[in-house]
Structure 1
């Protein structure tokens, strides 16, 4: 697992670093989306999601390496810098979200196989499918029950 200083609330001063993580991670996760990680998608990320979601960042050596956005109990997005993937950061952010909200939901592209495997390991299960109107891609709605108390 990667050593990082903290999971903490996103602040406006994190915008540049968070956008960099989002852009690089999104391009890898969604190569089937034209213009992923830039342009209109970047504008929407910067002006809507970073402003209106409850965002959390993970830091390693004082540098933002991951971003998680919550919309109530829905994970609106989880983005881990490519160099930090596979080192436990995403797992710790999901655990943090579960500690805050209990049961969680999220949408993931069917073609994002790596993310689907990650979420399956985190006990998410497919609840439904739909076609994303913007990109004509299949989206899976995944659900995860609240973590069991370990008293």
Structure 2
């Protein structure tokens, strides 16, 4: 059974590892150089960031999300448990807190785009580059509440 809890400082290494495996499984469009640069950025801030973590019976992280106000900055699921409802559980928790939640998704990540559309998100715009100015187009999404 998966439960949700706030992140702890002791989760840092496990969450960075989860992020790396999730990105490697879903972001094959990243260049090697950009993947390495993003990894360094994430490893620098993720362990201290306040997140909601989905954990299994042994309290091992299976996914996490980072929300800033009404914007979901990140949602990543361990590739070993993708498709089991953990992403949906985390997102439903976020929507209970922020019914008109917004997020951005890489346009090249077809699985994520499909997930958010199935969850009721609507497109509100697009950007030709990501938030760091890299050449990875984003789709801006909002849940209608």
Give the TM-score normalised by structure 2. 0.89
CA distance in 1 between partners of 2:68 and 2:54 (Å) = 18
Answer yes or no: is the 8 Å Cα contact 2:125–2:141 preserved in 1. Answer: yes
Higher strand share: 1
Q: Aligned partners of 1:25, 1:100: CA distance in 2, in Å?
A: 25
Please list every run of 5 or more consecutive structure 1 residues that lacks an aligned counterpart in the other structure: 147-151
Q: Secondary structure at the match of 1:136?
A: coil
State how far apart, in whole Å, the 2-side matches of 1:46 and 1:142 are.
Answer: 26
Could you say which residue in structure 2 is the equivalent of 1:59? Answer: 55
Distance 1:75 1:36, change over 3 A: farther
In 1, the alpha carbon distance for the partners of 2:69 and 2:16 equals 22
Alignment partner of 1:69 is 2:66: yes
Summarize deviations over 1:57-105 as a string: whole Å, max 9, x none: 0011221110101111111011000111000000000011111222101
Asked if residue 132 in structure 1 is aligned to residue 129 in structure 2, the reply is yes
C-alpha separation in 2, matches of 1:27 and 1:115: 14
Structure 1: which 4+ aligned runs deviate by more than 4 Å? none
